[in-house]
Amino acid sequence: MSAPHAVHLRRLRRLLPEGELLTSPVECQPYAGDKWFASRVPDAVALPRSTESVARLLAYAFHHRLPVTARGAGHGYVGGCVPQQGGIVLSLERMNRIKEIHVGDFVAIVEPGVHTQTLQDAVEKKGLYYPPDPASRKDCSIGGNIASNAGGPRCLKYGVTRDYVLGLEVVRANGEVLRLGSRTHKNKTGFDLARLFVGSEGLLGVITEATLKLLPLPPYRALLVVGFDHMGQAARAIRRIFAAGFLPCALEVADQFTLEAARRRTGSRRLSGCGALIFVELDGRQNAVKADLRDLRRLLGSLPHLFIQHALGAEACEQLWQLRREFSYALRDTGLTKLNEDIVVPRGRLEDLFRFTARLQKESGFPVACFGHAGDGNIHVNIMVDFNQPDAEARSRKVLDQLFTQILAWGGVITGEHGVGLAKKPWFPQAVTPAVRRFHQDVKAALDPHGILNPGKFI
C-alpha cells in the first residue's frame, strides 16, 4: 500500500461501516492465499456486507491507486486470490444471502459469498436444479465460481458456470456499479457484457450479485461404476458410450495411481488391483433412466472389465460418488506434493493423453496421477513431487513444460476450470497468441486503467 500507509488505513476505517476492515497482520494472515503454494499477507482486509461498501472502497482505491484483490472462499488451486502486490484484500464472504429463488421464473438471485452447495440444497427443496458442481462445492462460493468459470462432473450434460449466468451486478475499478443482463432466459440487448466478467479472475471488476438460471430438478438418478485393468480399456469404453448415443449427466475416470491412493484412504477392496475406473451417471425420468441403465450395463458388460457396480436413486448415488470425492484428498495422503493441472484435450485425444502421461511418468521418475472429467476431455493431471529430492523443482518445471507443450500441440488448453492465476502465468504467453494477449490487455486497460484489480496476475 502506498505511503503514507497509516493514513490510508485511517481513512478506510472511516469510509467503511464498523467491523468491515481488518488491519492487524494476525487478522490478515488467513487472507494471504488459497490452496496453491504462493501467499502474501495483505495490508488490510475489507469484509463488506453491501454493494455500497464495495463501491466506496473501490472508488477510494482507484483514486489513490491502491491494489485490491477480490476473494471468494479461498478454495482456488492457482493462486488467483493471492494479493501479489499487497494492498487490500476484498473478501466477499459476508455477502452470503440468497435473495430470491423464483420457481416460476426459474432463477435464483444470490450474493457472491453464498456457498455453491448451500444454493443447490435450497433450490432442490423447491424442485429446481443448479447443475454446476465443482468438487469443493461445500466450501467454494458462487462469486469464486463465476470468477473462474468453475466446472465439475455434470458439465458434460449441463455446461459450466457461464451457462447459468443470466445477469450480474458488478462494481467497476472506479467504484461505478453496473447491472448487466436480466432475469430472463433470453436477452440480446446489446453486448453480452455480464458474461465478460465470467472467468475474469477478479481482473475486470468485483461481482456483488448474480442472477442464475435454474432448471427443473431431474426426478431420478442412477450411477454405474466400472473397473478395468488399464486406462486404455477405460478410454475405449468411454468412446463406446458416446458411439451408442448416450449422453450421461457425468462421466468420470481415474487411473491406477489415484485408485491405489484411494484404496489406502478408504479401505475399499474393490479398488485393489484396479487399473482404471469410470463413473457414469444418468438422470431424468425414472423409467427412462432405468431403461438406459440396463442398456448401458449390457454395453459395458460386453467389454473387458473387472467389475460393474450400480446405484439407484439420489441417496445411493451420493454414497457411491463419495469415492470420487476422496481422490484429491487420497493423493495428498501420499505425502507427495500434488501439482494439479486441469488441462483439457479434444475428446478424441483421451487415449493419446493417457499414453503420453504414462510416458511422462516413466521418463521423469515422478508419479503422474490422472482423474477427472473424461466426458469433456478435462482431465486433472497431477504431477506428484517429493521436493526433498535433488533438483525436484527444476525437474517438475520441465515436466510441466512438456505437458503443456503437448496439450497445446493437440489443440487443447492449459486450464479448463481452475483459471490461470499465478500457477499457470508462465505458460499464458505460450497458450495464446500475441494478438490475443494484446486484446486481453486492451480490455483490462479499458475497465481498470490504473491496474488496481488483482495486479500481478497473467495480465
The answer on 279 and 186 residing in a single domain is: no
DSSP state of 144: H
The answer on 181 and 117 residing in a single domain is: yes
d(CA 363, CA 399): 9
Kindly tell me if the per-residue pLDDT of 411 is higher than 70. Answer: yes
- Kindly report, residue by residue over 269-308, the tens digit of the pLDDT: 889 999 999 999 999 999 999 999 999 999 999 999 999 9
Overall average pLDDT of the 199-217 stretch: 98
d(CA 440, CA 447): 11
In a domain, 266, yes or no: yes
Residue 412 in contact with residue 349, Cβ under 8 Å?
yes
The answer on 122 and 194 residing in a single domain is: yes
In a domain, 449, yes or no: no
Q: What pLDDT score does 3 carry?
A: 44
d(CA 197, CA 443): 11
As a residue count, the chain comes to 459
The answer on 372 and 305 residing in a single domain is: no
Q: What pLDDT score does 325 carry?
A: 84
Percent of the chain clearing pLDDT 90 (strictly above): 94
The answer on 157 and 81 residing in a single domain is: no
Overall average pLDDT of the 353-382 stretch: 95
For the chain, give the mean pLDDT.
95
Q: What pLDDT score does 186 carry?
A: 96
Range of the domain at 53: 5-91
Residue 141 in contact with residue 230, Cβ under 8 Å?
no
Q: Where are the alpha helices (DSSP H) in 95-230?
A: 116-124, 142-148, 155-158
The answer on 112 and 154 residing in a single domain is: yes
In a domain, 430, yes or no: no
Which range, of 65-69, 266-270, 390-394, averages the lowest pLDDT? Answer: 266-270
The answer on 268 and 211 residing in a single domain is: no
Residue 143 in contact with residue 250, Cβ under 8 Å?
no
| Closest listed residue to residue 336, CA positions, set 345, 328, 346 | 328
The answer on 135 and 118 residing in a single domain is: yes
Residue type, 271: L
Overall average pLDDT of the 58-65 stretch: 97
Q: What's the CATH number where 178 sits? A: 3.30.465.10
The answer on 269 and 244 residing in a single domain is: yes
Q: Which of 278, 312, 328 is the last residue of a domain?
A: 328
In a domain, 198, yes or no: yes
- Kindly report, residue by residue over 238-280, the tens digit of the pLDDT: 999 999 999 999 999 999 999 999 999 999 888 999 999 999 9
In a domain, 439, yes or no: no
CA distances from 278 to 47, 196, 306, 412, 449 (A): 42, 35, 12, 22, 47
Q: Which of 310, 328, 346 is the last residue of a domain?
A: 328
58 — phi, psi (to 5°)?
-70, -35
In a domain, 441, yes or no: no
In a domain, 440, yes or no: no
In a domain, 446, yes or no: no
d(CA 72, CA 47): 11
- Kindly report, residue by residue over 16-38, the tens digit of the pLDDT: 999 999 999 999 999 999 999 99
The answer on 324 and 339 residing in a single domain is: no
d(CA 119, CA 87): 31
Angle of the 231-243 helix axis to the 350-364 helix axis, nearest 10 = 170
Q: What's the CATH number where 51 sits? A: 3.30.43.10
Q: Which of 182, 201, 216 is the last residue of a domain?
A: 216
Given its phi and psi angles, is residue 198 left (phi above 0), alpha (psi -120 to 50 degrees) or beta? beta
Pairing of strands 68-71, 88-91: parallel
Kindly tell me if the per-residue pLDDT of 1 is higher than 80. Answer: no
| Closest listed residue to residue 144, CA positions, set 71, 215, 88 | 71
- Kindly report, residue by residue over 302-320, the tens digit of the pLDDT: 999 999 999 999 999 999 9
Q: Cite the beta strand spans of 351-397 per DSSP E.
A: 368-373, 378-385
| Closest listed residue to residue 314, CA positions, set 407, 237, 439, 221 | 221
Kindly tell me if the per-residue pLDDT of 4 is higher than 60. Answer: no
- Kindly report, residue by residue over 85-140, the tens digit of the pLDDT: 999 999 999 999 999 999 999 999 999 999 999 999 999 999 999 999 998 899 99
| Closest listed residue to residue 241, CA positions, set 320, 350, 314 | 350
pLDDT bin (cut points 50, 70, 90) of residue 161 is very high
Q: What's the CATH number where 233 sits? A: 3.30.70.2190
| Closest listed residue to residue 168, CA positions, set 89, 109, 128, 114 | 109
The answer on 81 and 32 residing in a single domain is: yes
**What is the count of structural domains for the chain?**
4
